[in-house]
Copies of this chain bind each other. A is one copy, B any other.
Amino acid sequence: MTNLYTDKRTLVTGGLGFIGSNLAIRLVKLGADVEIFDALIPDMGGNKFNIEPVKKDVKVTIGDLRDEGKIAKAVRGKDIIFNLAGTLSHIDSMENPFSDLDINCRAQLQLLEACKKLNRGVKIIYAGTRNQYGKAKYLPVDENHPLEPTDINGVNAIAGEKYHLMYDKVYGIGAVSLRMTNTFGPRHQMKHSKQGVLNWFLRQIIDGETIKLMGGGGQIRDINYIDDVVRALILAGASKNANGQVYNLGGSALSLLEFSKKAINILGRGNTRNIDFPKDRKNIEVGDYIADYKKITKDLGWEPKTSIDEAIKKTFGYYKRYKKYYW
């Protein structure tokens, strides 16, 4: 793997965010040439401190994917684009569907159009989401499961993915989509719960606050640690066979209550309280989700390696050290 990325010219959109920054750090270690493109949209997770360990080794462009001139400059000459820009909030997308459309559809099209015009030889890895499936009709959910999302964000993520696969088919741009599940770990924003509830629970434990579990927290999520997701991105970027494919990621199926209990045990303090679903949440709640990720194991040899306990310990360790940069 090391050799494959040596001197590769990579672009990471959303590269100051949670997944993007962890990936950028890994790419630098693999010897890649890394440019980060990030709009630093407030509350979206971008944080300059995230790339502290590699800040001298990467080029950072602050810009919006919808800025045609800037994105044109950024895609030119790149070998691989990790396209992690976008928003993931279910609730926000229902309150502001047009803003979600802009960020998750228009911006994606702008990037792809730039590649079509200036760099058709490029490879793009798209960050899909389990949110595209909606309520599971069966478990575990494989890639052929119907796509019936319960929120705007899920619909727009489908469109974003299908644009990528269509540009792969029609214009010969290499594109892969990884449908990610709930991911947690260092460098996730810690200011609100809207882009991921797992890191939010960890913050509440750190702060001595009670974790509020909607509906008792019995709903199962399939949980990944960030380092495993980064490895999947690296593998997908390196494999030509992955072009045109969609892959589920997955890891440990745990209820939110079980996850909270594990974290409370590890830190030795904390507590939970059951609350009713707020109405706006209840409407879009998808119930249990467990991913079938056999396809990526078979094709790319990926599987998650970090145990949830170890992952929680590492995450607590990171925020203990760097809390002031996050909240």
Contacts and interface: CB of A to CB of B under 8 A. Distances in A.
A98 interface: yes
Contacts of A101: 105-106, 109
Contacts of A169: 148, 150
A113 interface: yes
A268 to B, nearest CB: 41
A155 B148 contact: no
B105 A159 contact: yes
A166 interface: yes
- By secondary structure, the A interface counts as helix
Interface in A158-209: 158-159, 162-163, 165-166, 169-171
A199 to B, nearest CB: 26
Contacts of A171: 283
A236 to B, nearest CB: 19
A22 interface: no
Contact of A155 (B146, B149, B151, B162): B162
Tally of this chain's copies: 2
Q: How large is the interface on A (under 10, 10 to 19, 20 to 34, 35 or more residues)?
A: 20 to 34
Interface string A229-256: 0000000000000000000000000000
A57 to B, nearest CB: 35
A106 B113 contact: no
Contacts of A50: none
A97 interface: yes
Interface string A51-94: 00000000000000000000000000000000000000000001
16 contacts: A101-B105, A101-B109, A105-B105, A109-B152, A147-B147, A148-B169, A149-B162, A149-B166, A150-B169, A152-B163, A155-B159, A155-B166, A156-B159, A158-B158, A158-B159, A170-B283
